[in-house]
């Protein structure tokens, strides 16, 4: 058979030209080169934060605060300034007799002269010692007594009629009695101030204790608070506004009653200054004493208002 032999010979004849290689292994493809990972790119630095604006100068804020204060002060004093303007203009325009109502500028001149020669300070000191001394005694006596009467009903029933009799008797009506019993010295003047100041403080304190919130009182009692603690935690804080209303009224009364008392048998004091100036027909000096009394009353009232606010910090404004 010649078929197999022919086939071999045909393959041999084909040789390398045939493109088919049977004696060499197949080509192995080389792996593609491994690409190294790119370097991690760092984020670009953030732009710098803008510089904080320089703080605004405090001068404009301070100026605005001063402007607000001046505006409020001008509003509060507008009526006083109007009164002073009318007082100055009326005598100069002939609307009133300048002999009996001198212009306010003349009164200011007289006040300055009294302050310069020391008379005003002497009389003011004498009046303040008497007035504030009697006022302090009245506060010490009236506040505890008012708490006692307001809290214990038997005490209120016992002293109620007596209080009604004396509180309706004017203090100045009893001035001759005080002078007869205590003389014309300092004791009678301080005593009449004490008598006049006791009643506003006493009555307002009694009313404050009686009007205490009963719910708070029952709650405090349910917590087994003792009576002193009950007074400290409930009664006294609730009574502060009404008590200080009486104290402020007593502060005004102490000055007014003292001036009247000093006009009788006194040798120093603002009441004596006013009375002596009237007798000597020194009208500007008389008005200077009156203005001084008014200024003292206003200043004393403002002081009491400040103390009341300090003692009422617990109150929540409406």
pLDDT (0 to 100) of residue 155: 82
Indicate the average pLDDT of the chain.
77
Higher-pLDDT residue of 308 and 84 is 84
pLDDT, tens digit (0-9, with 9 covering 90-100), for 241-262: 888 888 888 888 888 888 888 8
pTM across the whole model: 0.69
d(C-alpha 12, C-alpha 197), whole Å: 149
What share of the chain in percent tops pLDDT 70? 79
Lowest mean pLDDT among 39-53, 117-131, 270-284: 39-53
pLDDT (0 to 100) of residue 217: 73
pLDDT (0 to 100) of residue 314: 57
pLDDT, tens digit (0-9, with 9 covering 90-100), for 170-213: 888 888 888 888 877 788 888 888 999 998 899 888 888 877 77
pLDDT (0 to 100) of residue 140: 92
Q: Which residue has the tokens 């320089």?
A: 54
End-to-end Cα spacing for the chain: 131
Average pLDDT value for residue range 202-228:
78
Q: Tokens in use for 76?
A: 């509060």
Cα 46-47-52 angle, rounded to 5 deg = 120
Which residue, among 275, 303, 252, has the nearest Cα to 131 in the 3D structure? 252
**Position 289 pLDDT exceeds 70:** yes
């Amino acid at each position: 058979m010649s078929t197999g032999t022919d086939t071999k010979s045909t393959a041999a004849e084909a040789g390398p030209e045939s493109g088919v290689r049977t004696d060499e292994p197949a080509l192995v493809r080389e792996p593609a080169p491994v690409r190294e990972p790119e370097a991690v790119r760092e984020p670009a630095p953030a732009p710098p934060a803008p510089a904080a604006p320089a703080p605004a100068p405090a001068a404009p804020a301070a100026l605005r605060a001063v402007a607000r204060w001046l505006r409020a002060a001008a509003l509060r004093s507008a009526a006083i300034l109007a009164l002073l303007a009318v007082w100055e203009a009326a005598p100069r325009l002939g609307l009133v007799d300048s002999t009996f109502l001198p212009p306010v500028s003349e009164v200011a001149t007289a006040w300055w002269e009294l302050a310069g020669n020391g008379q005003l300070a002497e009389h003011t000191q004498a009046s303040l010692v008497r007035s504030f001394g009697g006022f302090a005694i009245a506060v010490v006596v009236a506040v505890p007594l008012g708490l006692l009467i307001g809290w214990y009903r038997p005490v209120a029933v016992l002293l109620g009629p007596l209080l009604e009799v004396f509180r309706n008797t004017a203090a100045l009506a009893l001035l001759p009695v005080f002078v007869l019993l205590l003389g014309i010295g300092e004791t009678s003047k301080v005593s009449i101030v004490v008598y006049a100041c006791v009643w506003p403080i006493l009555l307002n304190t009694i009313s404050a204790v009686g009007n205490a919130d009963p719910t708070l009182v029952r709650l405090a009692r349910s917590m087994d608070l003792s009576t002193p603690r009950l007074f400290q935690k409930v009664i006294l804080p609730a009574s502060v506004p009404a008590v200080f209303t009486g104290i402020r009224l007593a502060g005004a009364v102490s000055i007014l009653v003292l001036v009247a008392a000093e006009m009788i048998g006194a040798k120093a004091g603002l009441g004596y200054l006013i009375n002596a100036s009237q007798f000597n027909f020194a009208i500007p000096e008389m008005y200077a004493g009156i203005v001084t009394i008014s200024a003292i009353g206003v200043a004393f009232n403002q002081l009491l208002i400040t103390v009341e606010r300090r003692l009422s910090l617990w109150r929540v404004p409406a």
